[in-house]
Chains A and B, each alone.
Chain A
Amino acid sequence: MKLALAEIRRRRGRWGSIIGAVGFIVFLVLVLAALSDGLFIGTAGALQTGDSDALVYSSDGRRSLVRSELPLSDLAEVAAVDGVADVGALGVLLATAAAGGDAFDIAVMGHIPGHAGEPTQLVEGRRPAPDESFVAVADVSLEDQGISLGDSVTLTDSSQPVEIVGLVENAQYLLAPTVWVPLGTWQALRFELRPETIGRGAVAQAFPILLDPDATVASVGAAIDEALGTTETVSKDEAILSLPGVDQQQSTFTAIIAVSFVVVGIVIALFFALITLEKRGQFAILKAIGSSNRFLLQGVLVQAIIATVAGYVVGWGLSRLLALVLPSSVPVEFLTGTALSLFAATVVMGAVGALFSFRRIIRIDPAAALGGEA
């Protein structure tokens, strides 16, 4: 251990470059992960941070909030199913709004305040009361359009402005800012913007549900679908993966990040292969004077872990610097959970990379130390 540490301390140039190399890969991975997380939250935040365990769709809706439609009269029946702790309603209206002359996309989310499905991360202001009309909590991303707490938003082709009374975080839908209005207001806006829906009566597009602590999505979902006969109930995670593009985004980023980790492993493996080759003589001498393989391998492992931990710190620092200068329009999210799992993965890959040189070190013959061969 002391020997391994002394080598890093006294060979700073060499170890600095490996730490730098690992650092840059970690930086790349962290930025990719932040983009992935940012894109994910931007796309699925409305469901992800929504207060629910599962969502009930109409069976012909193919798990799409836009295609699915359920009569509100079914709510009571869902609430009566064993294992359902609470049920809410969710409706989506994709619209445009204008602020200062520029039109932008906006998602109007109808919900029942105080029930399942409402956005959880309130940061400012208050929530609408269930019986209020034309008031909303908005996702903070709406501020990028110059709209703040207390302002009103008017949808294109709508005559009635919606007042923003609260702000929530991480509640975007398909990369658009959201305004969360009581379901009645959503219904009114929908009739106004989509007159063809008037004939269908009072509907929602999905019922978010919360389960009792000991209930499972599978069993409660099956019970709901059997009781109503016209629904498909899926867990929140499945619902998110069914959003357009989410599954593809996730698998693309996961693949890129996985490949980057393989690169971390290869970089460490090559580095140790190289210095092992160079230190053959030294290893032979150390073995001759009585070092066990265990002692030498421990040292290599400690060095690999130090190099990857230090590399991670460098990469993390760089990513924080980048986060400071990135414009808010770039959807990046630096999440602590992601950072921690990437840290663990980096160190593990470093250790795995170092393992490749173990066989080579074990095979070094201490007898090479004599006769001037070393």
Chain B
Amino acid sequence: MNAMTVNDVTKVYGEGHTRVRALCDASLELRDNEFLALLGPSGSGKTTLLSVIGGLLAPTSGTVTIGSTLLTDLSKKDQTRFRANRVGFVFQGFNLVPFLTARENMTVMASISDAGRDEIGQRADQLLDELGLSDRSDNLPEQLSGGERQRVAIGRALVTDPDLILVDEPTASLDTELGTQVVKLLASEIKSRGKAGIMVTHDLRMVEYTDRTVKILDGELQPTEKAPINE
């Protein structure tokens, strides 16, 4: 079974003169334990595709299946719940809750998802350790460096033990060195947990840490296998 399947997804914004086709018959399969890079210039539709995959945006036509769930068939409410429990997000910029500490930014998921408080707490401590943030766990985001903040965001995405990790330009606010570190860490966290992940980026240098790269241009996917996947 695929971790995720996008089937013939088209997304059209606006009507008449202002009609913009952001995605055009996009189809994509993501295997279990696969980390995929979605590479494209700005305006190529990569963020739109990620939003559709995450259930944040309804496609004009086509379907998205995550695991065995047909996401595009769920109600908005159920999609929200699905995101809380099964999808992890890492956003561009840092987007932590500014008045919560590093650890609280992860454990807040206990209030949002269905996972138990103890379970989330244990996983948060383990993630803080793995992400090298153990001694920063009580710091507020404003007391953390950019790299540390993005590591907290990675921890928040993983703390619910989701099936799919969606990553939006994780290096946008970081310099190359820090960006590389963060993506390497992200890749190893995703791989070591046997998760599937999609990372949207326009930075070719980040591609080498992923299993496969799919290019997107003007809303159309142009698959370019980087390496064969071992199954």
- The interface of chain A, by Cβ under 8 A from chain B, is 1-3, 6-7, 9-11, 281-282, 285-292, 295, 365-367, 369-372, 374
Contact = CB atoms under 8 A, between A and B. Distances in A.
Given A290-B80, A290-B84, A367 B56 contact: yes
B12 to A, nearest CB: 15
Contact of B168 (A1, A3, A289, A370): A370
A362 B136 CA distance: 34
A281 B91 CA distance: 12
B80 A371 contact: no
B95 A290 contact: no
Contacts of B28: none
B97 interface: yes
B19 interface: no
B115 to A, nearest CB: 11
Given A3-B108, A367-B56, A372-B169, A292 B95 contact: no
B144 interface: no
B95 A370 contact: no
B113 to A, nearest CB: 6
A370 B80 contact: no
A339 to B, nearest CB: 33
Contact of B80 (A287, A365, A369, A372): A287
Contacts of A292: 77, 80-81
Nearest to A374: B95
Interface in B59-106: 77, 80-85, 87-89, 91-93, 95, 97-100, 104
Interface stretch (B46-54, B182-190, B207-215, B218-226): B46-54
The 3 lowest CB-CB distance pairs between A and B, nearest first, are: A290-B84, A371-B47, A10-B99
User: Among A285, A370, A371, which residue has the most Cβ atoms of chain B within 10 A?
Assistant: A370
A366 B140 CA distance: 24
Interface residues of B, number: 36
B47 A290 contact: no
9 contacts: A2-B108, A7-B99, A282-B98, A288-B91, A289-B112, A290-B83, A366-B56, A370-B47, A370-B91
Nearest to B160: A290
A370 B111 contact: no
B26 interface: no
Given A370-B47, A370-B54, A374-B95, A2 B111 contact: yes
A371 B57 CA distance: 13
User: Among A11, A281, A289, A370, which residue has the most Cβ atoms of chain B within 10 A?
Assistant: A289
User: Among B47, B84, B97, which residue has the most Cβ atoms of chain A within 10 A?
Assistant: B97
Given A295-B112, A370-B92, A288 B54 contact: yes
A292 to B, nearest CB: 6
B179 to A, nearest CB: 15
Contacts of A370: 47, 50-51, 54, 56, 91-92, 168
A10 B140 contact: yes
Contacts of A11: 99
B93 A286 contact: no
A292 B172 CA distance: 28
B156 interface: yes
Contact of B92 (A282, A365, A372): A372
Contact of B156 (A3, A6, A289, A371): A289
B109 interface: yes
A290 B88 CA distance: 9
Contacts of B84: 289-291
